Structure 1
Amino acid sequence: MAGSGNVAERVQNGVHSVNPFRSREEHTRASIISLKILTAVTWLVAVIFTLYYTVERPHEGHYARRTIWGQNNRVRTPFSLDSIITSIFFIVLWILQVGYCWHLYSNNAAYVAAAANVGAHFVANNLLFFGFIHLWVRSHFWLAELLVVINLLNLSAAYLRHPATPRFIHVPVVSAPLAWNFVALFWCGAAMVHAHTLAARIVANIFIWAIFVFGVFFLAVFKDYTMGFSLSILCAALGVAQFLTKLVALQWIFAFVIMGVLFVLSCAVAVPGFLGIRDPFKRGEIVSEDRERAPLLQDE
């Protein structure tokens, strides 16, 4: 029995040693080199194909094939997004992700370890986003939605497993992509069920408040204003698109209300820390105070 216990322990240790999502204080030179290659390659693949399908539609397959925004404009739903605001969001995100990749080359061991610990989640996010774009432009909305759900789980795990990640790593790898995937859940989901009817718009008027609840949760529990700002930008994209689609409707009004409230709450959480004054809001009771602020404490 003791021997079998030792075997089980060795197997468990072996699994942990090869688990790419495991948090480690130190990383081998080989693992860092692998991450440098994988993060760069998967980031380039995701960005290049996104840019390509922004201006060019796919030419193979039997389903409706359109560019990313051609698909968005064809399938006008209560969650269609404005292409300009959303594109700016991604351009800024990609620039920040270049900064994240640069930290794998840093001389600061703490920065390298922090970047490496979320590296597997970053690679997974890039691959899942790459797959999502391919499915979206080919009208495979059900499969695209499945990849969004998987990526939500991937990024949520990254958020909860690495709460002390420095902000310049946390934002491009965890909070901003997580905010996007939550909004994409409704963006793709509405296209998936062909939400064009009055009943679908009424349901969407309710579902849109899930974005507000999602943002307030991270603001209240983790004091993560980066999540609040990211969601407010995406709500602006939603509000503008809905306003231009249907002037007499509640969806764009709700989107702008959510955008404004999340922005104000995010400022209220962020400003005290930047000014070094006492936070006027009490800490949540779900996690400890240290852990709540952990994602945003460590800065350059």
Structure 2
Amino acid sequence: MPENSAATSNGEERLNPFSRRDDFSSQHLLLYKITTGVTYLLLLVTAFYYTFNSPHEGKKHHHDSPDGKHHHEYYPGQSTIWGQNSLHPTPYSQNFIITSIYWIVLFVLQLVYAWSLYSSDSVYVAAAGNIGAHYLASNLLLFGFIHLWVRSHFWLAELLLIVNFLNLSLAYFRHSTTPRLIHIGTVSGPLAWNFVALYWVGAVAVHKHPENLIPRIVANIFIWGILGYGVFFLAAFKDYTIGFALSVLAFSTGVGQFFTKLPILQLQWIFAFTIGGTLFLLSLAVGVPGLLGRDPFKRGEIVDEDRERAPLLADD
């Protein structure tokens, strides 16, 4: 009976793409190689296209100009990714340059993940395989999010972000010791953005504008959640990568807020810069000693030379 139970459990693990494994069959790896390439290009091309173009399908409205000519324009709710950011300013609107560079870096690091599937190093192959299902799900959810966002379906876009937040959180807590470069590109970097995006898209969905006093006061309070979220990972997992990621996104929010109306009379940009600076300094305090081989805060085992390239965080 125990043997049958073990066999059943083994079979269930094989069928569950999110289960943790120590090795993967060649067929399984081939499937990940193909689907990784397809979903990576799908998301990359979609993000690039809608950064510069708005949707061209859907509802149109018609009008006659004073010269008597008949004109038609596309439904005004459709715009580019950053066009929506400008059309719907909120206390969480970001700077498009900083956040775009942030995502370019993530896309480059995700190539390291794709390369890991072809690596001869079993540590990288196992890590990439275990992250694989979460990464594929994230790509597809973000692909759907972009299409909904540029078409002004903000509540549905927020719903996909919530699902992806749960997906990436599960990936993080189950695979927190993934090799650093894979971890940043596929887990901590996207998770940090997803958390901040929940604020950004949620604020647009409820139509709260920066000039309204009560929503801005609420936003002034809730923005500190970014600091609390970052401190949690720095304290619990000693993960400076998510600390630095949230720091960059907080600075992006600060710059975005600074260029809204009456920045001197608003506090959001000051809070965002304060949060970004605090997270940056705390991340340095956590990350630099470990990289130098010193740990004055006794945060656990120092990663030895043989394991430096494999785990991101301490195992304890």
Task: Give the TM-score normalised by structure 1.
Answer: 0.91
Aligned residue among 14, 21, 24 for 1:24: 21
Instruction: State yes or no: 1:217 paired with 2:232.
Output: yes
Aligned residue among 270, 295, 310 for 1:253: 270
3-state SS of paired residue (1:105) = coil
> 1:109: how far off?
1.6
> 1:274: how far off?
1.4
In the alignment, residue 130 of structure 1 is paired with which amino acid? F
In the alignment, residue 296 of structure 2 is paired with which amino acid? P
In the alignment, residue 48 of structure 1 is paired with which amino acid? V
C-alpha deviations, 1:138-187, integer Å up to 9, x for none?
Answer: 01010111110111110111111112211011111110000000000001
Aligned residue among 122, 126, 148 for 1:113: 126
Instruction: State yes or no: 1:135 paired with 2:151.
Output: no
> 1:15: how far off?
2.5
Q: Which residue matches 1:275?
A: 292
3-state SS of paired residue (2:312) = helix
Does the CA contact (< 8 Å) of 1:164 and 1:291 recur in 2? no
Instruction: State yes or no: 1:44 paired with 2:41.
Output: yes
* 184-193 vs 58-67, which moves further: 58-67
* 189-198 vs 224-233, which moves further: 189-198
Q: Which residue matches 1:228?
A: 243
Structure-1 separation of matches of 2:31 and 2:301: 32
Instruction: State yes or no: 1:83 paired with 2:100.
Output: no
Instruction: Rate the CA distance shift 1:145–1:295 in 2: closer, same or farther, 3 A.
Output: farther
> 1:17: how far off?
1.4
Structure-2 separation of matches of 1:98 and 1:198: 44
In the alignment, residue 152 of structure 2 is paired with which amino acid? S
In the alignment, residue 256 of structure 1 is paired with which amino acid? F
In the alignment, residue 87 of structure 2 is paired with which amino acid? R
Structure-2 separation of matches of 1:86 and 1:55: 15
> 1:11: how far off?
5.2
> 1:58: how far off?
0.5
Does the CA contact (< 8 Å) of 2:238 and 2:313 recur in 1? no
Aligned residue among 169, 178, 191 for 1:156: 169
3-state SS of paired residue (2:93) = coil
* Larger helix share, 1 or 2: 1
Does the CA contact (< 8 Å) of 1:61 and 1:138 recur in 2? no
In the alignment, residue 29 of structure 2 is paired with which amino acid? I
> 1:13: how far off?
3.9
* 14-23 vs 251-260, which moves further: 14-23
C-alpha deviations, 1:104-156, integer Å up to 9, x for none?
Answer: 11111221111111011110110011011010000101011111011111011
Alignment root-mean-square deviation, CA: 2.1
Give the total of aligned pairs.
289
Instruction: State yes or no: 1:262 paired with 2:262.
Output: no
Structure-2 separation of matches of 1:214 and 1:295: 22
Structure-1 separation of matches of 2:142 and 2:3: 41
Instruction: Rate the CA distance shift 1:56–1:38 in 2: closer, same or farther, 3 A.
Output: same
Instruction: State yes or no: 1:203 paired with 2:218.
Output: yes
Q: Which residue matches 1:188?
A: 201
The unaligned stretches of length 5 or more in structure 2 are 60-74
Q: Which residue matches 1:286?
A: none
C-alpha deviations, 1:36-71, integer Å up to 9, x for none?
Answer: 011111010001000000000001234610000000
In the alignment, residue 84 of structure 1 is paired with which amino acid? I
Does the CA contact (< 8 Å) of 1:57 and 1:137 recur in 2? yes
Larger of the two Rg values belongs to structure: 2
In the alignment, residue 71 of structure 1 is paired with which amino acid? Q
Structure-2 separation of matches of 1:207 and 1:291: 35
Does the CA contact (< 8 Å) of 2:290 and 2:302 recur in 1? no
Does the CA contact (< 8 Å) of 2:293 and 2:302 recur in 1? no
> 1:99: how far off?
1.3
> 1:291: how far off?
12
Task: Give the TM-score normalised by structure 2.
Answer: 0.87
* 6-15 vs 98-107, which moves further: 6-15
Structure-2 separation of matches of 1:78 and 1:280: 38
Structure-2 separation of matches of 1:275 and 1:24: 32
Does the CA contact (< 8 Å) of 2:106 and 2:185 recur in 1? yes
Does the CA contact (< 8 Å) of 2:196 and 2:226 recur in 1? yes
